[in-house]
Chain A
């Protein structure tokens, strides 16, 4: 399930909804991305996330489908926020459930690596010296590509 929203989410509630009453689930993998207070040695006061409504949901659904092709998953939940966030705020939640831990953990890692470079979001950081757009990192592209090079399971 994909949710693109401005409001915050409660991690406990979201994770419980993936597992409550689902006794075939053996493991849940999750990743939460947060706004850091430093970028390039500068104190960040806020980060504003812009996205491409419509395409964002499509891309995230396509990424979820890729994960489901590759691992035997029960539920997939991706919540991605947009709008103005401050250091410490939650940005993204990725959670997957499966009968076994390997599928849950690997697919969760795959999903966050892929959505970093394939989901249409852009980040504008504000500091004392002004505003600047966050540049894409080569390391993020390499992390996403690593999954393409891996032998499909």
Chain B
């Protein structure tokens, strides 16, 4: 799965993009986030407060309970500040 991070999610995790092989039981965004938090302090710090995490799957905004599949592009980022 392609994972993308932006804003302070990116700076806390330390990278902007990675490709990861997920365990088969991870089928939605929430379980993906919980799994990522086990990967290190940076991930835990970035994903600590889910109320300020926004998610896009294949470049469409989704909720935390959205389903995900192995070929998806999943992006995690803070609330957007355009304009």
Contacts and interface: CB of A to CB of B under 8 A. Distances in A.
Instruction: Determine if chain A interacts with chain B.
Output: yes
Interface of A: 33, 50-52, 54-55, 58, 80, 91-92, 112, 115-124, 133-136, 140
A118 B80 contact: yes
A52 B4 contact: yes
Interface in B11-67: 11, 56, 59-60
Contacts of A80: 82-83
Contacts of B75: 52, 55, 120
B79 interface: yes
A120 B83 contact: no
Contacts, number: 69
29 contacts: A50-B6, A50-B10, A52-B6, A52-B56, A52-B59, A52-B77, A55-B56, A58-B59, A92-B83, A112-B83, A116-B80, A116-B82, A116-B83, A117-B80, A117-B82, A118-B82, A119-B80, A119-B82, A120-B6, A120-B56, A120-B75, A120-B80, A133-B11, A133-B78, A134-B81, A135-B79, A135-B81, A136-B81, A140-B81
Contacts of B4: 52
Nearest to A63: B82
Interface of B: 4, 6-8, 10-11, 56, 59-60, 75, 77-83
Nearest to B56: A55
A139 to B, nearest CB: 12
B7 A50 contact: yes
A51 to B, nearest CB: 8
A116 B11 CA distance: 22
Contact of B82 (A58, A120, A124, A133): A120
Given A116-B83, A122-B81, 14 more contacts: A58-B59, A116-B80, A116-B82, A119-B80, A119-B83, A120-B56, A120-B75, A121-B82, A133-B11, A133-B78, A134-B81, A135-B79, A136-B78, A140-B81
A134 B79 CA distance: 10
Contacts of A123: 81
B41 to A, nearest CB: 19
Contacts of A135: 78-79, 81
A70 B8 CA distance: 35
